Amino acid sequence: MEKITNIPTLSQIQAAHKAIAAYVHKTPVLTNESINKITGASIYFKCENFQKIGAFKIRGATCAALALTETEKANGIATHSSGNHAQAVALTAQLHQIDAYVVMPETAPEIKKNATRGYGAKVTICEPTLASRQGTLDQIVSETGATYIPSFDHYNVIAGQATVAKELIEEVEGLEVIMSPIGGGGLMSGTALSTHYLLPNARIIGAEPKLVDDAYRSFKTGVKQINNGTKSIADGLLTNLSDKTFEIITKYVHDIITVSEQEIVDAMRLIWERMKIVVEPSSAVPLAAILQQKERFEGKKIGLILTGGNVDVSQLPF
Amino acid sequence: MEKITNIPTLSQIQAAHKAIAAYVHKTPVLTNESINKITGASIYFKCENFQKIGAFKIRGATCAALALTETEKANGIATHSSGNHAQAVALTAQLHQIDAYVVMPETAPEIKKNATRGYGAKVTICEPTLASRQGTLDQIVSETGATYIPSFDHYNVIAGQATVAKELIEEVEGLEVIMSPIGGGGLMSGTALSTHYLLPNARIIGAEPKLVDDAYRSFKTGVKQINNGTKSIADGLLTNLSDKTFEIITKYVHDIITVSEQEIVDAMRLIWERMKIVVEPSSAVPLAAILQQKERFEGKKIGLILTGGNVDVSQLPF
């Protein structure tokens, strides 16, 4: 796998897909009669909650790790993350027999810290601020020579995440709308690229919690904005866009819809109760957007990415 | 579909499968690396939580309804149930455009009462005793002429439930053990029959909560026993065996394992967290049995039926 140095092309995404195929699941696409009846749309849910480590993040991390030189591999990989990307980097390193250094804020759920350690990563706990996370990571990188794999601000990571929508588009014919949630924008960027290349007539729509709506405001103003708080229940979507993801989203996404916390919880509950699957709050954000704007999506054939299923089942919002 | 008047034969189960195929889902079979690692076994989970109405019960109810004469259909069908069978009878009636009368105890969850009404059934609420349930049902049957479809003490229902194991055995080659939970014994009977006919060398093992272990005691003593209480969290398994299911289970099941409430909760949580699917406590009972007796199942290729996913997500045991 090459190191990708600009917005991934179709052939780079295709190469990424081929390269990571042995390390990730081709996740199933599910439909649900009740939810179709409630929304009036035909929704095809791409279930990355069934992905390895329980979330799509393994795709991007694998795509980045496969581009390392032998020397880089010998020094290991590093990242900071409070959640799914931590486990993705740890498992990727384990599968490729390289060292992993993961900086996690002390506020990260114990279950995620333990899972990351369970994959053999060296976990360093830091203060729950971006400054502490980045500072701790920088020190580890300078001490070990490990390569930093960011969770979204990286073209190989974006190309890896693009394989989710690629699989969905290749499996389900005639999708008219493709939807994904937006956090840092890695998945949204990959989704937008794959859809742009493979299904150019489809509408590409992102969904974001109102409480962390930097992508919405950036998209509407054309100037990259940042979040004022990090309070949403959708704990996978608290991050700001990066320059790379902002550029791709501005170019290729057609619209972004923001939803309230209650709309997220209601949509999440609907998925649990009707589809009988465990998804994390971030996964429910696009369905919340459809429910909020029913008339807009009525009769449409929609591909929707469920990002993951890593949720503490003893701490549910319902 | 004929009315089956004795222990279903293989050809009757095959006919039942053909007859109900248009009305039920062929549910997926899932495996999970983490759970295989934890148990040391290879477990193939037959996911009836993804079945219509969220549980296998729709199979048996459909198989019974399809055997009705036109006159019987004109008078409708009736049952009493606190849970999945209520919805199964209601949906079956709706699909066949016949009337459904469902007696439900006042203690049944509102969500299940509403779901049953949602399928168009006339729901009558009664006291939460078997006497009140049966008495209320008898009165409705005598007033309407509706045909009573019991939830398990009925050979067409058993033949319908037998199609779960049939699909599992036909999809996964070389299973050595087939496991199902036991409540009234309808699913266990059907599972035992399909396995006996189609996979005669496999071990047929039932699993039951210790708190409602009538099947275990009946099996061990050779005399049909009844439960002293109905307190298990596995709310689908509180019923006693009937004469019909006791006979089949005695003949064809090889062993029954009982598990504690904590073992059920732990196994349920494992399924939720590792498989990312929503299952009801009853579904977790066979996995709890495997975890309790690891050495016995180590290295074995096991087919295990997850019975359903109808659980109140705001009332979880963890």
pLDDT band at B83 (very low <50, low <70, confident <90, very high): confident
pLDDT value of residue A3:
97
Per-residue b/e over A44-71, b at no fewer than 16 CB within 10 Å?
bbbbbbbbbbbbbbbbbbbbbbbbbeee
Note the ipTM here: 0.94
- B116 and B167 together in one domain: no
Percent of chain B whose predicted confidence (pLDDT) is above 70: 100
pLDDT band at B228 (very low <50, low <70, confident <90, very high): confident
CA distances from A273 to B214, B254, B314 (A): 31, 35, 11
- A105 and A23 together in one domain: no
- CA proximity to A302, closest of A192, A198, A179: A179
- Are B287 and B271 within 8 A, CB to CB? yes
Shortest CA distance from B270: residue in chain A? A313
Look up residue A304 and give its amino acid: L
- A227 and A295 together in one domain: yes
Per-residue b/e over B67-101, b at no fewer than 16 CB within 10 Å?
bbeeebbebbbbbbbbbbbbbbbbbbbeeeebbbb
- CA proximity to B83, closest of B268, B288, B234: B234
- B27 and B91 together in one domain: no
Distance, CA of B103 to CA of B94 (rounded, Å): 17
Residue where one domain finishes, among candidates A116, A148, A180: A148
pLDDT value of residue B130:
85
pLDDT value of residue A108:
87
pTM: 0.95
Q: How many CB atoms lie within 10 A of CB A145?
A: 13
Structurally, how many domains does chain A consist of? 2
Residue where one domain finishes, among candidates B148, B176, B195: B148
Distance, CA of A144 to CA of A99 (rounded, Å): 10
pLDDT value of residue A54:
96
Residue where one domain finishes, among candidates B96, B119, B148: B148
User: Which residues make Cβ contacts (< 8 Å) with residue B219, sequence separation at least 6?
Assistant: B206, B249, B250, B253, B256
pLDDT value of residue A34:
94
Q: In terms of DSSP bridges, do strands B29-30 and B42-47 run parallel, antiparallel, or are they unpaired? A: antiparallel
Phi–psi pair at A119, nearest 5 degrees: -85, 5
pLDDT value of residue A112:
87
- A173 and A257 together in one domain: yes
Task: Answer yes or no: is A63 within a domain.
Answer: yes
In the predicted structure, residue B231 carries a pLDDT above the cut 90: no
Cβ within 8 Å, pair B318-A314: yes
pLDDT value of residue A231:
87
Task: Answer yes or no: is B313 within a domain.
Answer: no
Cβ within 8 Å, pair A277-B276: yes
Question: CB-CB: which of B28, B50, B278 is closest to A272?
Answer: B278
Question: CB-CB: which of A269, A273, A276 is closest to B277?
Answer: A276
Percent of chain B whose predicted confidence (pLDDT) is above 90: 93
User: Which residues make Cβ contacts (< 8 Å) with residue A69, sequence separation at least 6?
Assistant: none
Task: Answer yes or no: is B4 within a domain.
Answer: no
Task: Answer yes or no: is A133 within a domain.
Answer: yes
pLDDT value of residue B310:
93
- Are A249 and A206 within 8 A, CB to CB? yes
Question: Average pLDDT for residues B287-293, to the nearest whole number?
Answer: 98
Cβ within 8 Å, pair A313-B273: yes
- B100 and B184 together in one domain: no
Per CB distance under 8 Å, which residues of B are interface residues toward A? 28, 49-50, 54, 269, 272-273, 276-279, 309, 313-314, 316, 318
| CA A245-A212-A55 angle, 5° bins | 65
Task: Answer yes or no: is A276 within a domain.
Answer: yes
- CA proximity to B310, closest of B63, B17, B86: B86
Shortest CA distance from A52: residue in chain B? B33
Shortest CA distance from A279: residue in chain B? B276
- CA proximity to B317, closest of B264, B276, B255, B274: B264
Shortest CA distance from B111: residue in chain A? A273
Task: Answer yes or no: is B318 within a domain.
Answer: no
Task: Answer yes or no: is B224 within a domain.
Answer: yes
Distance, CA of B180 to CA of B59 (rounded, Å): 16
- Are A180 and A303 within 8 A, CB to CB? no
- B76 and B192 together in one domain: no
User: Which residues make Cβ contacts (< 8 Å) with residue B138, sequence separation at least 6?
Assistant: none
Look over chain B and give the mean of its residue pLDDT values, rounded to a whole number. 96
DSSP B66: T
Range of the domain at B72: 58-148
Task: Answer yes or no: is B47 within a domain.
Answer: yes
- B49 and B181 together in one domain: yes
Question: Average pLDDT for residues B280-296, to the nearest whole number?
Answer: 98
Cβ within 8 Å, pair B318-A316: no
Cβ within 8 Å, pair B279-A279: no
- A81 and A201 together in one domain: no
pLDDT of A240-260, one tens digit each? Answer: 999 999 999 999 999 999 999
- Which CATH number fits the domain that encloses residue B269? 3.40.50.1100
Q: How many CB atoms lie within 10 A of CB A220?
A: 12
In angstroms, what is the C-alpha Rg of chain A?
A: 18
pLDDT band at B167 (very low <50, low <70, confident <90, very high): very high
In tens digits, chain A (318 residues) has pLDDT values of: 999 999 999 999 999 999 999 999 999 999 999 999 999 999 999 999 999 999 999 999 999 999 999 999 999 999 999 889 999 999 999 999 999 999 999 988 888 899 999 999 999 999 988 899 999 999 999 999 999 999 999 999 999 999 999 999 999 999 999 999 999 999 999 999 999 999 999 999 999 999 999 999 999 999 999 998 878 999 999 999 999 999 999 999 999 999 999 999 999 999 999 999 999 999 999 999 999 999 999 999 999 999 999 998 998 999
In angstroms, what is the C-alpha Rg of chain B?
A: 18
Question: Average pLDDT for residues B245-253, to the nearest whole number?
Answer: 98
Question: CB-CB: which of A278, A314, A316 is closest to B276?
Answer: A278
pLDDT band at B111 (very low <50, low <70, confident <90, very high): confident
- Are B210 and B231 within 8 A, CB to CB? no
- B266 and B225 together in one domain: yes
- B40 and B101 together in one domain: no
- B162 and B144 together in one domain: no
- CA proximity to A101, closest of A69, A140, A60, A63: A140
